[in-house]
Structure 1
Amino acid sequence: KHGISWRLIPCFLRHLSEEEARKTWRELLPYREHFSAVGLDSSEKGNPPSKFAGVFSEVRAAGLPAVAHAGEEGPAAYIREAIDVLKAVRIDHGVRCREDPGLVGELARDRVPLTVCPLSNVKLCVFKNLSEHPLKELLRAGVNVSVNSDDPAFFGGLLETWLACVRELGLGEEDLAQLARNSFAGSFLPEEEKRKWIQKIDRLAGVSF
């Protein structure tokens, strides 16, 4: 009706055991055609990505890509571990990558998407205020970052997040266009759909208002 498409990414809860994740995976398997990927979320502290290496090998064997929350409250090393061990193709948050310049370079080189959630990061005290957030720094470094709301009921909606980033981080029109491009590039849409929307952004970015 409204031209909006959606897909699901169920997530394992990392504060639970890998066996609990396997139980969840067995329940998900009959419905896997409805999923774009399988993720890992919940508290990072004390729960490294490698804790779930086994179940994610089963996920990949079933033909689904992995995504993972990493480098939000956990260290930059968790980002590398999610990519190397879980074979995650997209990282949720990932803002602590700035602690490892080599990792930032690798993320930029490999175009690994980071779904960054600036207002959530401030409200959960990852950063004291939005002006400290590395979104613009990572964008300038060529990292495939996009702007996301995380959980709108708790942290504010997507439009509120974009407006706050413009005000506090001084994002310009080309920054906004690149963030929009990145959001499609990092999605699980078919490649032709991605190209269509990125071309539309390119056309709009060339229009003066």
Structure 2
Amino acid sequence: METPDGAPILPKAELHLHIEGTLEPELILELAARNGKVLPHPTLAGLRAQYQFTDLQSFLDLYYANMAVLVTEADFADMTRAYLGRAREAGVRHAEVMFDPQAHLARGIPLTTAVAGISSVLADSFDEFGITTGLIAAFLRDRPEDDALDVLGQLLAMDAPIIGIGLDSAEVGNPPSKFIRLFDRARDAGLRLVAHAGEEGPPSYVWDTLDLLGAERIDHGIRCVEDSRLVERLATGQVPLTVCPLSNVRLRAVDTLAAHPLPQMLASGLNVSINSDDPAYFGGYAGANFAALVDEFGFDADTLERLAGNSIRSSFARDARKEELLAELAAWRAAQG
């Protein structure tokens, strides 16, 4: 991939992406019309005006309300295809996509509808977009563990094409200890394990996500900088942290991008990658997040190569695919001079 002026685009993996968070306002209105859904804000201007968030919960309220337009397999497929098109433009070459099965079941949408719609597009993602992909079932931490266990059982029984599980939604008041059995069950089934921690929740949530859940990757993790022992552990073990800078600013996890702990995290030797989280809501896809960091912090080509390399090495892609993408990254770096 190249920019309009012919320069190569930084090749990267995206590891922290909620597919429902890629629903752009235009597609929301299109799907609402297709499915006869009446939205609280039925115009483009009215809907866009809602995208000012004071915290995580204010975002989640809109996020779940907009999901009402996802009804058929075609809806889920159209959403997924639209994301992959934008991801390709941003230089994403491998994407591990999360979806929220419980949120759709709660709306009366069969699990098979969501899974089939998303996976039908991911199955052809390399041929159509040049992007290899994996699907992760993310469970809602503000719901009971028994509910999550039931849904995981359904996914396993239907042999859903998922590579792992995650943990998302409201973090504060829903500690990792609540989901030990869920993660044990997923591990026994051979699934990869990731979880949100240390976004709004304290550093102790990161400790417990590692020690009690056995997570291989921490989604967000920015509050780790408040605990020097935790930073040392994360750096020594090179535990992947999937940081989402524009998301952190929009959700007020940090006041401004200038105040983001990312430079401190890099200086501490942490294994950080850059991701877009819910890009339709937070102001940009992977490329926009990288561009914002360059503008704010003046990151040079070596730093960008480090961040992109972290994303590739921290992915669950096959070793051969990682080697291929790292070679592409090396070629990109050589082209920078």
TM value normalised by structure 2: 0.60
Equivalent position to 2:189, from 62, 81, 84: 62
Contact 1:136–1:171 (CA<8 Å) still a contact in 2?
Answer: no
Cross-structure match for 1:111: 238
Question: Which is further off, 164-173 or 93-102?
Answer: 164-173
C-alpha separation in 2, matches of 1:128 and 1:165: 15
SS at match of 1:6: strand
Q: Partner of 1:88: helix, strand, or coil? A: coil
Q: CA deviation at 1:31?
A: 4.5
3-state SS, counterpart of residue 10 of structure 1: strand
Q: CA deviation at 1:102?
A: 1.3
Deviations 1:15-66 (A, max 9, x none): 0011111111111113556112100011111100110001110110011121
Counterpart pick for 1:128 among 255, 268, 277? 255
Alignment of 1:157-168 (within 5 A): 157-168=285-296
Q: Deviations over 1:121-170 (max 9, x none)?
A: 00100100000111122122211101101101101221111111111122
Q: Does 1:184 align with 2:312?
A: yes
Q: Distance in 2 between matches of 1:75 and 1:3?
A: 38
Counterpart CA distance in 2 for 1:202 and 1:83 is 32
In 2, the alpha carbon distance for the partners of 1:131 and 1:154 equals 20
Q: 1:206 is paired with a residue of what secondary structure?
A: helix
- Local SS of the residue matching 2:273: strand
Deviations 1:54-97 (A, max 9, x none): 11101100111210000000001101100111000001000000
Name the residue aligned to 1:175. 303
Letter in 2 for 1:201: L
Q: In structure 1, how many angstroms separate the alpha carbons of the residues matched to 2:241 and 2:181?
A: 24
2:301·2:336 contact (CA, 8 Å) conserved in 1?
Answer: no
What secondary structure does 1:47 align onto? coil
Structure 1 vs Structure 2 CA RMSD: 1.3
Paired with 2:150 and 2:160, the residues of 1 have a C-alpha distance of 18
Q: Which runs of 5+ in 1 are unaligned?
A: none
Alpha-carbon separation, structure 1, partners of 2:133 and 2:318: 13
**Structure 2: distance between partners of 1:182 and 1:96:** 19
Secondary structure (helix, strand or coil) at the match of 2:265 reads: helix
Distance in 2 separating the partners of 1:50 and 1:169: 36
Give the match for residue 268 of structure 2.
141
CA distance in 2, matches of 1:47, 1:14: 6
Which residue number corresponds to residue 195 of structure 1?
A: 323
Q: Is the 8 A contact 2:193 2:214 kept in 1?
A: yes
DSSP 3-state at the match of 2:136: coil
Q: Deviations over 1:107-126 (max 9, x none)?
A: 11111111100000001001
Q: Structure 1 stretches (4+) deviating beyond 4 angstroms? A: none
CA distance in 2, matches of 1:50, 1:152: 29
Q: Percent identity at matched positions? A: 45
Q: CA deviation at 1:204?
A: 2.3
Distance 1:108 1:32 in 2: 36
| 1:2 CA displacement | 2.4
**Secondary structure of 2:239's aligned partner:** coil
User: What stretches of structure 2 of length at least 5 have no aligned partner?
Assistant: 1-127
Conserved 8 A contact 2:217-2:239: yes
